[in-house]
Structure 1
């Protein structure tokens, strides 16, 4: 099939790019390996999830979230918004289509994309001048290879498979990972009367969603050092010294840390209070696992019925993008750094790889569509 643009991925990044191209009347095809758009949101998120950023920062291009919607949307309402977005811009992804190889043909100056159709098991070919990689940062759940993990006799799951703490009532559960997902999963488990522990190895910022909303607004007119200083003071006033509970703040401020490393501050949903009261136990440094017993760096060991790994995700373009080393670093992110990360050579684009969430996805999509339009006008 011949088209002007091939977009790989029908998550928010791919949908935002498709809508932006639609507005400019540029033909495109969206290839999606799952059976629906926004599959991460629909199939691989826990029940209690809601947007941690105010809705104004989560809107996709050309269509605001309704004014009567709550400031922080629950998962179900955000999915409704994404479905309405697909309908409004007449986006029709080719579902169940997994890209196997994307290569650039120097002679024809086009991209050749080979994709396997899961329904027919046939490999289909797509040709385009432009290729947009919008498969996102959260393609594949990552579980570290811990010593003895294979011997664990209980349940092992990644947070992308976790839905609710309901099945774990009265069970002992260890959460590995202390980012937003890990802290919220731990809270949800404790709410369902699971005996909950969480591994916190690295320093982290704990803030409220209101603090982050304020910070994002202030960054429009104040330097990041001042914004970080104010957020730090508010967090210290709100939570006090958390080091006695095993939570140490990084030396770099929360907004600077996000910009430099991609690591987000933890938006507290009530987890800190449960840590303070002992409903959630903080543990550090898994050294070994034997059957259902987990050993820690301090010499203590505890028995668990389940381990939930909230240890992040890996990108996947390195698996199918030819000459990936010249475009992507070892972690699968563009070698070009923010704010130039979205544009590669040979009419290749990356949308949703800025490590800055939905606001950056929209910016990448707009930049990409406008750049494609400009190139088409010149040629």
Structure 2
């Protein structure tokens, strides 16, 4: 049985940042990741995805993002960056190893893999992130829908939807980006329970993230508490203009799904070919259900990334776990430093 100081579950941006911080503190981490190679969730995102933060604000510890620091890297650039980073981290990273469950034992943990391997660890960091488990809400009549239903995690590019009638459920960044892209080839509606909220990408000539950093909100524990309701869509002007022009249009959410269509709030029924659920994700930590670390919905019980119920267990990569930047490529390094510092005590 392997015995390790720190075992990190997940080899995406959160896991690699955690490994690098651990090494810098004289620890010897082992990273287990179910994917066949580096990149985390990024290879599964839609083709046109672009980072919302400029390259200068999109780096993991010790490795600035290459190229023009003012540009917004695209998905494949992020995958390449993470692949290069994985090769430079002086840690034992094991690809293609899925963790089945974690058990609390005396002086640490036993981590059991799907293939039956067992590792003993003093500390465990769950860095499998907040984007591994697509959330599919219960919508009235959805189980009867005769058309195609997919989560935004399954969307790649618009050509398969040419000429279709598409309804995108959700009002976040992914929902709006996918809706605007699809509207070039299909008839598309964005549907939400409330109004769309917009955040200008540039303010007085400076990128939104420059202002977050300058004011300290990006790393402040109070930042997330200032955000109420839906997350605003970061926009350089193109997305808001497209929605205003009706490409796609925006409507209140339908009251129910009915066979091959939906019934809108005004009672009108409309045939629909495709429903895309851009309804977010939940933390991918089912391997912790044998511990007291999660509640009945597999939600981590933690304070700023440190488990409140299981000593020696921490998290990196959860949305808003410490700040606005938590779960982003620019924020996971800071969170890893805080969590490892607390666990090492």
Secondary structure in 2 matching 1:182: helix
Is residue 335 from structure 1 mapped to residue 333 from structure 2 by the alignment?
Answer: no
Cα distance in 2 for partners of 1:289, 1:46 equals 26
Cα distance in 2 for partners of 1:51, 1:272 equals 18
Cα distance in 1 for partners of 2:52, 2:305 equals 24
TM-score (structure 2 length as normaliser):
0.86
| Partner residue in 2 for 1:131 | 124
Is residue 208 from structure 1 mapped to residue 172 from structure 2 by the alignment?
Answer: no
Give the root-mean-square deviation of aligned CA atoms.
Answer: 2.7
Q: Contact 1:183 / 1:271 at 8 angstroms: preserved in 2?
A: yes
Secondary structure in 1 matching 2:86: helix
**Deviation per residue, 1:95-123 (Å, 9 max, x gap):** 232222212113xx11111111xxxxx31
Which of 311, 328, 331 aligns to 1:346? It is 311
Q: Contact 2:29 / 2:92 at 8 angstroms: preserved in 1?
A: no
Deviation at residue 40 of structure 1 after TM alignment: 1.0
Secondary structure in 1 matching 2:94: coil
| Partner residue in 1 for 2:24 | 23
After superposition, the Cα gap between the structure-2 partners of 1:20 and 1:125, relative to the gap in structure 1 and judged at 3 Å, is same
Is residue 267 from structure 1 mapped to residue 259 from structure 2 by the alignment?
Answer: no
Is residue 8 from structure 1 mapped to residue 12 from structure 2 by the alignment?
Answer: no
| Structure 2 unaligned residues grouped into runs of 5+ | 321-325
Cα distance in 2 for partners of 1:273, 1:101 equals 47
After superposition, the Cα gap between the structure-2 partners of 1:163 and 1:291, relative to the gap in structure 1 and judged at 3 Å, is same
| Partner residue in 2 for 1:103 | 103
Q: Contact 2:129 / 2:327 at 8 angstroms: preserved in 1?
A: no
Higher strand share: 2
Higher helix share: 1
Deviation at residue 215 of structure 1 after TM alignment: 4.3
After superposition, the Cα gap between the structure-2 partners of 1:144 and 1:23, relative to the gap in structure 1 and judged at 3 Å, is same
Deviation at residue 59 of structure 1 after TM alignment: 0.7
Secondary structure in 2 matching 1:93: strand
Which of 329, 333, 337 aligns to 1:366? It is 337
After superposition, the Cα gap between the structure-2 partners of 1:150 and 1:5, relative to the gap in structure 1 and judged at 3 Å, is same
Secondary structure in 2 matching 1:123: coil
Is residue 157 from structure 1 mapped to residue 141 from structure 2 by the alignment?
Answer: no
Deviation at residue 124 of structure 1 after TM alignment: 1.1
**Deviation per residue, 1:55-112 (Å, 9 max, x gap):** 2322111111125355211111111111111111145532232222212113xx1111
After superposition, the Cα gap between the structure-2 partners of 1:126 and 1:176, relative to the gap in structure 1 and judged at 3 Å, is same
| Structure 1 unaligned residues grouped into runs of 5+ | 117-121, 228-254
Cα distance in 2 for partners of 1:217, 1:331 equals 36
Deviation at residue 208 of structure 1 after TM alignment: 2.7
Which of 283, 287, 298 aligns to 1:315? It is 283
Cα distance in 1 for partners of 2:24, 2:158 equals 43
Cα distance in 2 for partners of 1:99, 1:124 equals 9
| Partner residue in 1 for 2:323 | none
Matched ranges for 1:174-185 at <5 A: 174-185=167-178
Q: Contact 2:102 / 2:287 at 8 angstroms: preserved in 1?
A: no
Q: Contact 1:61 / 1:366 at 8 angstroms: preserved in 2?
A: no
Q: Contact 2:130 / 2:281 at 8 angstroms: preserved in 1?
A: yes
Cα distance in 2 for partners of 1:130, 1:261 equals 34
| Partner residue in 2 for 1:54 | 54
The worse-fitting range, judged by mean Cα deviation, of 214-223 and 162-171 is 214-223
| Partner residue in 1 for 2:270 | 302
Cα distance in 1 for partners of 2:22, 2:12 equals 15
The worse-fitting range, judged by mean Cα deviation, of 179-188 and 85-94 is 85-94
State how many pairs are aligned.
332
TM-score (structure 1 length as normaliser):
0.79
